[in-house]
Amino acid sequence: MIVEDDHTLRTVVGDFLRAGGFRVAQFPDGLSARDALRGELPDVLVLDRMLPGVSGDELCRQARAASDQLPIIMLTALDAVEDRIDGLEHGADDYVTKPFALRELQLRISATLRRTRAAEAAPYTVGRFRVEPGRRRVWLGEREIALTAREYELLFYLTQHPDRVVSRDEILREVWGWSFGDPATVTVHVRRLREKIECDPGLPQFLLTEWGAGYRFTPAAESTC
C-alpha cells in the first residue's frame, strides 16, 4: 500500500513496483488509506508523513496499533535527524527521504518483506533440505548443516528459489541488501556453502554454476553420499 498525495510520484512509484512483481494499492490521502486499513492489511505500508485528511504520523500510529507485525516505511521530504527519529518513534520500521532512487525503495521493501517472512515462516522441506526459519537451522537429510549467519541467509534465499537461475547481482541485492558491491563476495560464500552441502565441492550436485548467468539450486538432486 502506497499513501502519497503527489499524483506523479504516487503513479511513478506504483508503476515501478508493479513492474518489479508487486501488487500495489495506491491512496492519495490519509482518510481513504485509513478506511482501507480497517479491512485487509497490506504486506507493507509506504506512506508520506505530510498527508491531507489524516497525517502520515497519525496513520502510522493507527496502523501500528492495529498490527505490531505490519512493516511500515515512511517516505518524506523531512530529512533532519530529529525528523527520522520522530518518524521511527511513531512506529515506522524504515524511513526513506525524498528525493530517492526507485530501486532503493524497492530494495528496502524487499528486505523488509524478507526479514518479516523469514521470522514468521513455518518450517518447510524443499527437495532433500529441511529449513526451520524461526530457529535459523537447516538439515540435509538427517544431517544438520552448521552455517554462519551469512551462509544461512544465502541458503535460505536459495531454498526460496529452487531450480531457478539467480545472478550474483541478485544475490548481492536480496541477501546482502547491497545495490552494488563486489560479486566475488558471493563467489566466496557459494564456495564455502558447497563445502558444507556437497559430497564433492568440485563436482557440485545441489548448487550448480550456470556460466555467464549465475547459480542454480537443485535441492532434489541425487547425492552420492
Stated pTM of the model:
0.58
Q: Which CATH architecture has domain 2-118?
A: 3-Layer(aba) Sandwich (3.40)
The rounded distance, in Å, linking the Cα atoms of 169 and 84 is: 30
Instruction: State the DSSP code for 163.
Output: T
pLDDT at position 95 is: 81
C-alpha cell at 74: 515512511
The rounded distance, in Å, linking the Cα atoms of 109 and 67 is: 18
Ramachandran quadrant class, 25 (left: phi over 0; alpha: psi -120 to 50; beta: rest)? beta
Q: What is the pLDDT of residues 17-48, one digit of tens each?
A: 999 889 999 999 999 999 999 988 999 999 99
pLDDT at position 132 is: 92
Instruction: State the DSSP code for 220.
Output: T
pLDDT at position 224 is: 64
Domain limits, the chain: 2-118, 123-217
pLDDT at position 207 is: 97
Confidence check: pLDDT of 153 > 70: yes
C-alpha cell at 123: 518450517
CATH fold of the domain at 123-217: Arc Repressor Mutant, subunit A (1.10.10)
Three-class secondary structure of residue 73 per DSSP: strand
Strand partners, 143: 140
